[in-house]
Amino acid sequence: MGGVFGQQDLNSGNTPFNELSFVVQMALSKLNVATLVQVQAVNAGSGLAPVGTVDVLPLVNQVAGDGSAMPHATIHGMPYLRIQGGANAIVCDPAVGDVGFCVFADRDISTVQASGAQGPPGSARRFDMADGLYLGGWCSNLTPTNYVQVTDEGINVVLGSTTLELTAGECTITANTKIIGTLEVTGQATFDQAATVTGNLTVGGDVVSAGISLDNHVHVGVQVGGGTTGGPQG
């Protein structure tokens, strides 16, 4: 078993000022404010379940009096951030291995965390790592493959090779697209490939194919009759 190394140095007790400074420094060293952590486990429901918790490992080690590093232990059950207003949310839960930022409350938040309502602190602890909140969002050297990107030029929604690009006056979808419901087009519709319609196709205007109008075309080499074409007769 190794020895115990205190934090005081040769000057810590030389003067009353140094003594007081050492006491203040030791008190401040017990205050946890914020640090970088790595997600070790994610405890959340599937799909659109309410926000869950993560188990995280603080990445910045403690330092003993002799300068040696002392790794932290894993902190369990830390709530994580989800951007949500009422029933509206952006759902992107943490993943194991993520490196993110966490902050620590100045009071014990366990009572409020359990009830979701105003209440007294669960204990007298202050600035404790047990009262942390994982904010996430700092994944160094990891390029996303699925993302929503907002720039001055537009908005990009990417899921692997499937993309949706919104720019000024235009929406471009690179994917097989299925519409369940009514599609209403005000303007022109252009098909660069074959279009297959399963069911009835109702057109309120003319249909032009290869430059030939369905409403106003003439059959060449056919003798014109005197009748008219109407709907089905009973």
**Residue 3 belongs to what domain range?**
1-30
Residue finishing a domain among 103, 120, 136: 136
Q: Say yes or no: 52 and 85 in one domain.
A: yes
Q: What is the largest CA-CA distance in the chain?
A: 122
pLDDT of residue 82: 87
Partners of 90 in beta bridges: 83
Q: Say yes or no: 79 and 153 in one domain.
A: no
pLDDT of residue 28: 79
Q: Say yes or no: 64 and 110 in one domain.
A: yes
Q: Say yes or no: 161 and 102 in one domain.
A: no
pLDDT of residue 233: 54
- Burial readout 96-112 (b: 16 or more C-beta within 10 A, e: otherwise): eebbbebebbebbbbeb
How many structural domains are present in the chain? 3
Q: Say yes or no: 115 and 79 in one domain.
A: yes
Q: Say yes or no: 69 and 43 in one domain.
A: yes
The answer to whether residue 64 is domain-embedded is yes
**Which uninterrupted H or E stretch holds 156?**
strand 155-159
Q: Which amino acid makes up residue 57?
A: L
The answer to whether residue 197 is domain-embedded is no
Residue finishing a domain among 136, 153, 177: 136
pLDDT at 126 over 60: yes
Question: What tokens were used for 77?
Answer: 């059950």
Strand order in the sheet with 34-43: 75-79, 53-58, 34-43, 99-104, 132-137
pLDDT of residue 143: 83
Q: Say yes or no: 8 and 96 in one domain.
A: no
| Strand pairing category for 155-159 and 162-167 | antiparallel
Question: Which band of pLDDT confidence, cut at 50, 70 and 90, is reported for residue 74?
Answer: very high
Q: Say yes or no: 38 and 128 in one domain.
A: yes
pLDDT of residue 69: 85
* Phi (first) and psi of residue 75, to 5 degrees: -100, 125
Residue that wins the pLDDT comparison between 226 and 93: 93
What SS3 state is found at 131?
helix
Give the pLDDT confidence of 155-196 residue by residue, as tens digits: 999 999 999 999 998 999 999 988 898 888 888 888 887 878
- Lowest-confidence segment of 139-143, 202-206, 228-232 by average pLDDT: 228-232
Question: Which band of pLDDT confidence, cut at 50, 70 and 90, is reported for residue 3?
Answer: low
The answer to whether residue 126 is domain-embedded is yes
The answer to whether residue 210 is domain-embedded is no
Question: What tokens were used for 49?
Answer: 């379940």
Q: Say yes or no: 57 and 132 in one domain.
A: yes
What SS3 state is found at 33?
coil
**CATH code at position 126:** 2.40.50.230
Residue that wins the pLDDT comparison between 139 and 123: 123
Question: What tokens were used for 93?
Answer: 């839960």
What SS3 state is found at 24?
helix
The answer to whether residue 104 is domain-embedded is yes
Q: Say yes or no: 152 and 167 in one domain.
A: yes
pLDDT at 141 over 80: no
- Lowest-confidence segment of 18-32, 67-81, 198-212, 213-227 by average pLDDT: 213-227
Mean pLDDT of 125-137: 91
Q: Say yes or no: 103 and 157 in one domain.
A: no
pLDDT at 63 over 60: yes
The answer to whether residue 151 is domain-embedded is yes
172's CB contacts (< 8 A; 6+ apart) are 163, 164, 165
pLDDT at 108 over 90: yes
The answer to whether residue 230 is domain-embedded is no
pLDDT at 122 over 70: yes
Residue that wins the pLDDT comparison between 105 and 66: 105
Q: Say yes or no: 37 and 80 in one domain.
A: yes
Give the pLDDT confidence of 21-50 residue by residue, as tens digits: 878 888 777 888 999 999 999 998 777 888
pLDDT of residue 111: 94
The answer to whether residue 218 is domain-embedded is no
What percentage of the chain carries pLDDT values higher than 70? 91
95's CB contacts (< 8 A; 6+ apart) are 39, 42
- Lowest-confidence segment of 11-20, 60-69, 159-168, 181-190 by average pLDDT: 11-20
